[in-house]
A and B are shown apart, each in its own frame.
Chain A
């Protein structure tokens, strides 16, 4: 077996530090994902109605999020707000805001699409049964729509987890930055550590994202 420099992982608290870095990445992405899912459902439902001003807002929001690299958004939120308004947002708060803005736009679009794909007859039948509009949404349309958007929503969450590697640029030390710190601090004693440490990071990302995709598969099967 080639020398992967794995011994650096057992030096001091290095392995724990990697796990702490992973936790930072997961904390940011999961909090953002939760906000995005709740806000996205609301926005998507509101934008799903015809001639809704929210449809207009969602389109513009999505267009901007799609053309702006996440890194630009992170810089704008972290450094930009303190220049413009004198806010002193922490790196982690800035990251959660940016990821939520991104996730809400994408989630909103997914929900809008999924709601639109529920046959009109469902709504009409529900109304004919005397359900009020909120009830129609909560009991008839959303449960059907949610099933359709699970795969894409999970995909969004895993993309969020991976994109957390950018937050090191606004001073948040997450798993990838910890990996670089470990590699650089041991460059002389273990010049091959880069392979082993990055391999470990790869496995950690995989183990973090895998349960989500498994859950998505299970739910899809369950609801088929």
Chain B
């Protein structure tokens, strides 16, 4: 009897929770969650979601100030809108959620444009390129995948786009898979493999930090891009952002951004391959 009652009590409260969550998912697209451009201007503050621990794209410096490539752009957006910027610390996993609930107006957190994400959020014009890169020891720099012989192995990290790409396009290459960046880097340093393939920003940073390695292939396969994103359907803000990005090309804003924030990590030689001006359309 006691157990039955306890069961009913739990069931009742659980039913309440389920009904709430059902109504949550049901009403997700019911009305506009986002703030239009006019509403942001009237409020005087724009909420921008950035990373707070992804050096050098979005991080917090020793004075507690947000800094980085994405943040530099976010500040400019605030300046040109004429409003204050309220930075919201986001994680990779909750970026879409923040836009779907309108808790931030714009996400500027190294957000790679993918078709799956584009179904849930609206991407503005891109402001950075990201592609795959291959780093190898100076003793034998791999500049073309054809240089790899049957005994050569290539390190990848499981679940990355590099792994998918090589399996699909170069099935003849033997892959050596690791779960963590630390293990992959150790393996390369120990000479376990001929090269390491990953996002080019990662391998470039590795080559610059470690003597004796060169990025022989700085960009492999399809180019992906990084762009600001707004809530699905927020056209006024999206159009403003696109106009802003086009206008900023005139002063080569993102080159300046790169020189202020990324040059310490990537050096000047990658500036033109990483930076996109005017969404890459005007060039």
Contacts and interface: CB of A to CB of B under 8 A. Distances in A.
B60 interface: yes
A96 B111 CA distance: 30
Contact of A184 (B17, B54, B63, B265): B54
A84 B9 contact: no
A197 B54 CA distance: 17
Interface residues of A, number: 39
B62 interface: yes
Contacts of B17: 64, 68, 76
A168 B103 contact: no
B90 interface: yes
A83 B55 contact: no
Nearest to B2: A59
Given A181-B60, A185-B62, A169 B91 contact: yes
Contacts of B14: 60, 63-64
A59 B9 contact: yes
A79 B55 contact: no
Given A59-B9, A83-B27, A177 B64 contact: no
A14 interface: yes
A113 to B, nearest CB: 15
A83 B94 contact: no
Contacts of A84: 20, 23-24, 27
A188 interface: yes
Contacts, number: 110
A221 interface: no
Given A56-B9, A59-B9, 16 more contacts: A64-B10, A78-B103, A79-B101, A80-B20, A82-B101, A82-B102, A82-B103, A170-B94, A171-B90, A173-B52, A177-B52, A184-B55, A185-B55, A187-B55, A188-B209, A188-B265
Interface of B: 5-6, 9-14, 17, 20-21, 23-25, 27-28, 31, 33, 52-55, 59-64, 88-91, 93-94, 97-98, 100-103, 209, 265
29 contacts: A12-B64, A13-B62, A57-B13, A59-B10, A61-B13, A68-B17, A76-B17, A76-B21, A76-B24, A79-B94, A79-B98, A79-B100, A82-B103, A83-B28, A83-B101, A84-B20, A84-B24, A84-B27, A168-B91, A169-B94, A171-B90, A173-B52, A177-B89, A181-B53, A181-B60, A185-B61, A185-B62, A187-B55, A188-B209
